[in-house]
Structure 1
Amino acid sequence: MSVDKSPVESLRDRKRRQTRERIIETAFALFMERGFDVVTVDEIAQRAEIGRTTFFRYFGDKQEVVFSTEDDFLRALIAAMREAPAEPLPDLGRALATSRRLLLALCTEAARNADHYAVYHRLVTRHPELEDRHTRKTRHYADLLEKHLIDHGTPPPTAVLAAQLTLGCYQTAWRLGGTDATAVLREAEGAFDLLLGATAV
């Protein structure tokens, strides 16, 4: 019989997690009701029934609330990189095959909380300052992918190209899938099918 070795969440940790989740849910609801620009931290804290000081224990500002799942995406990407076969990736075809697996891991993480993703997508597309941060975030992922490929033997020019093509597949999925996280995952697969089909010719 297998023994579950997963750590048991303490009462303190559970309360912290619940408070953080309540802040996020409250903030997203307010952002959608009134717009990101006009909602204040005080309003979020008041509706979430916490103090202003408590809000800042969890988030530095309103933008951090919108991007509250950023750490989850990074963990998903890093985990997928660690689980990837430790085989050399000397050419574009192999680099893209690995890139596809890593991109789909990110899209799968987004689909785990489809409601959250839908609100996130609406907020980002409506507010330029959020869209700018989203763009910088996705470029950071592309940089991590590029480094991963180089570390696995992909020549730097090929690694840069593969990472940028992967970024293009994600941006295609972001536009076509819209607020539907499942559709984004599907469109990402479709974009890579087109890309890999073209590079195989």
Structure 2
Amino acid sequence: MSTNKLPAESLRDRKRRQARERIIEAAFSLFVERGFDVVTVDEIAQRAEIGRTTFFRYFGDKQEVVFSTEDDFLHALNAAMRDTPPEPIQDLTQALLTSRRLLLAICAEAARSPSQYALYHRLVKKYPELEDRHTRKTRHYADLLETHLIDHCAPPAMAVLAAQLTVACYQVAWRLGRHDATAVLREANDAFDRLLGATA
């Protein structure tokens, strides 16, 4: 019986991953110590013991470091989308159940790194430019969800409604769970329970 194994990480890939992790760790440490608005890319690079050019090889600016888990969230979302049953989505309850599973996949991914999520939440709440970027990313996820539902035969109006209701559930979880990623996951699940109960 054969088993599928992930390919071994090459030395080059390991060094790149370690350099990226050093940048993230250095940046968040500085943001906590001195504040996001005053920390510079040069200071992050110096703390991470890399050159400025190396920093820009991994991140376009210091805001991108704050949102460094974005790829992990998208990976979790795409994996959950691939697991969506092939049957057509024909009513709002089906659309919401699908949406719930996809949102919880993202929240569960955030809960894998609770300390980083806590810092992320505090930074987003404190700095308007980060909150604006967070809001735009939330809209992007809603667009992805809407497209996914339409691809599974949900009528466009239903897909839009389900996607926006999912954003509402996330916003409830974001406000109530605050910087506790596990609480955000729980609150998102509870919000959907209440929503599905209301639409039953």
Aligned pairs, how many? 200
| Amino acid in the other structure paired with 2:102 | L
What SS is found at the alignment partner of 1:24?
helix
Q: How is 1:1-201 mapped onto 2 (pairs within 5 angstroms)?
A: 2-200=2-200
CA distance in 2, matches of 1:154, 1:12: 44
Unaligned runs of 5+ in 1: none
| Amino acid in the other structure paired with 1:184 | V
Q: TM-score, normalised on structure 1?
A: 0.97
| Amino acid in the other structure paired with 2:109 | E
CA distance in 1, matches of 2:151, 2:145: 10
CA RMSD of aligned residues (A): 0.9
**1:78 Cα deviation from its structure 2 partner:** 1.1
Q: TM-score, normalised on structure 2?
A: 0.98
| Amino acid in the other structure paired with 2:79 | A
CA distance in 1, matches of 2:139, 2:3: 41
| Amino acid in the other structure paired with 1:142 | A
Q: Residues 138-174 of structure 1: CA distance to partner in whole angstroms, max 9, x if unpaired?
A: 1100011011111111111111000000000001001
Q: Residues 53-107 of structure 1: CA distance to partner in whole angstroms, max 9, x if unpaired?
A: 1111111100111111111111111111011111111110110011010110010
| Amino acid in the other structure paired with 2:169 | C
**1:8 Cα deviation from its structure 2 partner:** 0.2
CA distance in 1, matches of 2:61, 2:173: 29
| Amino acid in the other structure paired with 2:141 | Y
| Amino acid in the other structure paired with 1:52 | R
| Amino acid in the other structure paired with 1:153 | C
What SS is found at the alignment partner of 2:154?
coil
What SS is found at the alignment partner of 2:97?
helix
Q: Residues 10-53 of structure 1: CA distance to partner in whole angstroms, max 9, x if unpaired?
A: 11111110010010011001011111110000110111111111
Unaligned runs of 5+ in 2: none
CA distance in 1, matches of 2:145, 2:36: 31
CA distance in 1, matches of 2:56, 2:156: 41
| Amino acid in the other structure paired with 1:139 | R
CA distance in 2, matches of 1:59, 1:78: 22
